[in-house]
Chain A
């Protein structure tokens, strides 16, 4: 409350100023089709890497997601150091950037179903 009175701005605006001071290249509107589209693509395999300094997050919270290449086509493209690869199922999105590192089978996330009984039932 004291801060509000002294500076005469809403706490929200003060927070906004803080965020913009940390990330000067942040756009004005967090909404917009780019960011919503990323949310819609949750779970899609491919490299989506967004350091906070470059891109604001979608309205619906698309976090930086590091996922791995899943087939030999992607693997070879990474090897050839191609940038700005299109995601297989996405619409055109020029902002997507591929990473440089090439995953090995050990890096791939384990996908096993939970065969163990829930601890709530224990």
Chain B
């Protein structure tokens, strides 16, 4: 179980790929969220068709120690169905926007999954025994005629093939007028928040018929609307603290002890902009698509269209680190606006020790930034490199001028191949990278 040294000292190898090979991608198969559980043993994906697939890491084979356990399908279920709200003439997509795992408390696993309007708590439990030897029932379930029973026996539990069952335990509905973009479980493990474009609600995991509204940025007059909430997350350690990001590139930190309605932030994180640099695109590309606290709770990371920023919670006026993801796109903003790519919402994630951050890009590229060495690397999720233990070759995009061998020019990038969702195992150097409809798992080279 190696501690991550640096993003570039690690040699990333292909491990597995899940999903169909064919290029004809059905809408329903588009992956919309990826999340490891707290131990890293389970990996969940959600898709546009409202389905959840959970993979489980197999126990490490002590003899063959050249690779860590593979992830195999553990459970799959239909989480959400498409709905139509007749009162509002509103079509509600079944697409799973986010999945968040609860920490494990007993034998069962629990996760929250949400679409645009409804959050559901799912219980995933294993059944590996079944009772046999009933007196009044045959083994196949048919009832026996009681008059034919001549002796009595005590039913016993016998082992059976493992069955994994998913059942919805709570449905948290009808609390969001706008579209839910985030859910986040509190460190108290009793409450969680859900955020839509204009409001954030606080729920108790046991209570489905009410929730507290803790942030409401809807103006009295909708004509005065200037920004919306894009993401929200609870602090990993302080159960009274959460942050939410906006379409204008700001992050607000709120303390629930201050008041019941946290409309007034405790801290406002915003990097000042040089007005002479402002353009038509400035506000669009400053919109934050994801915000994630570090595991330590000291820092938070934000993703906007072109960069990843690390903020120290103690300093509001500028980020402490900024990493350019694909700066070469700045000279392509016109066409990216025309084809809507400028509105793509990329996510970002930390490694277990908060030393490396990762985010996706186009052409099925993804990027890692080592905060200590300041080195970065670009890798590609592609079936061409799919021999296990093959070290991935770093990629390079040529922005302008002469293209070197093995470099790819900006104009050759495939903007339909976008990596929006990535996840990093909480303890090991194992990453899950979602392309449009495939899930790639990469590991560092273990000798």
A16-B279, A88-B89 given as contacts; is B400 within 8 A of A2 (CB)? yes
A sample of 20 inter-chain contacts (CB < 8 A) reads A3-B331, A10-B279, A14-B331, A15-B333, A19-B334, A28-B280, A40-B179, A42-B179, A44-B89, A57-B337, A59-B283, A88-B89, A91-B222, A111-B84, A113-B50, A114-B28, A114-B78, A115-B78, A120-B53, A120-B438
A45-B91, A120-B19, A121-B76 given as contacts; is B45 within 8 A of A33 (CB)? no
Within 8 A of B (CB), among A1-57: 1-3, 10-16, 18-20, 22, 26, 28-33, 36-37, 39-40, 42-46, 52, 57
Closest A residue to B437 by CB, please name it: A119
Distance A37 CA – B177 CA, assembled complex (angstroms): 13
**A15 CB, min distance to chain B CBs, angstroms:** 4
Q: Is the CB of A60 within 8 A of B287?
A: yes
Checking B49, B178, B281, B438 against A114 with a beta-carbon cut-off of 8 angstroms, the contacting residue is B49
* Residues on B with beta carbons closer than 8 Å to the beta carbon of A61: 340, 342-343
Q: Is B73 an interface residue (CB 8 A)?
A: yes
Distance A118 CA – B94 CA, assembled complex (angstroms): 14
Within 8 A of A (CB), among B311-340: 330-334, 337-338, 340
Give the interface size bracket for A toward B.
Answer: 35 or more
Binary CB contact string for chain B from 80 to 110 against chain A (1 if under 8 A, 0 otherwise): 0110100011111110000000000000000
Distance A59 CA – B116 CA, assembled complex (angstroms): 19
Closest A residue to B94 by CB, please name it: A113
Q: Is the CB of B76 within 8 A of A88?
A: no
* Residues on A with beta carbons closer than 8 Å to the beta carbon of B73: 120-121
Checking B53, B225, B284, B342 against A37 with a beta-carbon cut-off of 8 angstroms, the contacting residue is B225
Checking A15, A37, A70 against B331 with a beta-carbon cut-off of 8 angstroms, the contacting residue is A15
* B90, B178, B198, B280, most chain A CB atoms within 10 A: B280
Checking B226, B277, B438 against A36 with a beta-carbon cut-off of 8 angstroms, the contacting residue is B226
Q: Is A122 an interface residue (CB 8 A)?
A: yes
Binary CB contact string for chain B from 197 to 213 against chain A (1 if under 8 A, 0 otherwise): 11000000000000000
* Residues on B with beta carbons closer than 8 Å to the beta carbon of A115: 78
* Residues on B with beta carbons closer than 8 Å to the beta carbon of A37: 222, 225
Distance A25 CA – B439 CA, assembled complex (angstroms): 43
Give the interface size bracket for B toward A.
Answer: 35 or more
Apart from A12-B282, A33-B224, A118-B45, 9 more pairs, CB < 8 Å: A2-B400, A15-B281, A28-B280, A36-B225, A43-B92, A88-B88, A111-B84, A113-B82, A119-B29
* Residues on B with beta carbons closer than 8 Å to the beta carbon of A19: 280, 333-334, 337-338
Q: Is the CB of B281 within 8 A of A43?
A: no
Chain A contact residues, majority secondary structure: loop
**Chain B residues within CB distance 8 Å of chain A:** 18-20, 28-29, 31, 45, 47, 49-51, 53, 73, 76, 78, 81-82, 84, 88-94, 116, 178-179, 197-198, 222-228, 247-248, 277, 279-284, 287, 330-334, 337-338, 340, 342-343, 400-401, 437-439
Distance A29 CA – B287 CA, assembled complex (angstroms): 14
Q: Is the CB of A118 within 8 A of B88?
A: no
Q: Is the CB of B287 within 8 A of A118?
A: no
Closest A residue to B55 by CB, please name it: A120
Checking B283, B333, B337 against A31 with a beta-carbon cut-off of 8 angstroms, the contacting residue is B283
A15-B332, A40-B197 given as contacts; is B82 within 8 A of A111 (CB)? yes
Q: Is A104 an interface residue (CB 8 A)?
A: no
Q: Is A63 an interface residue (CB 8 A)?
A: yes
Q: Is the CB of A33 within 8 A of B222?
A: yes
* Residues on B with beta carbons closer than 8 Å to the beta carbon of A111: 82, 84, 91
Distance A29 CA – B279 CA, assembled complex (angstroms): 9
Q: Is A116 an interface residue (CB 8 A)?
A: yes
Distance A59 CA – B246 CA, assembled complex (angstroms): 11
Q: Is the CB of B28 within 8 A of A12?
A: no
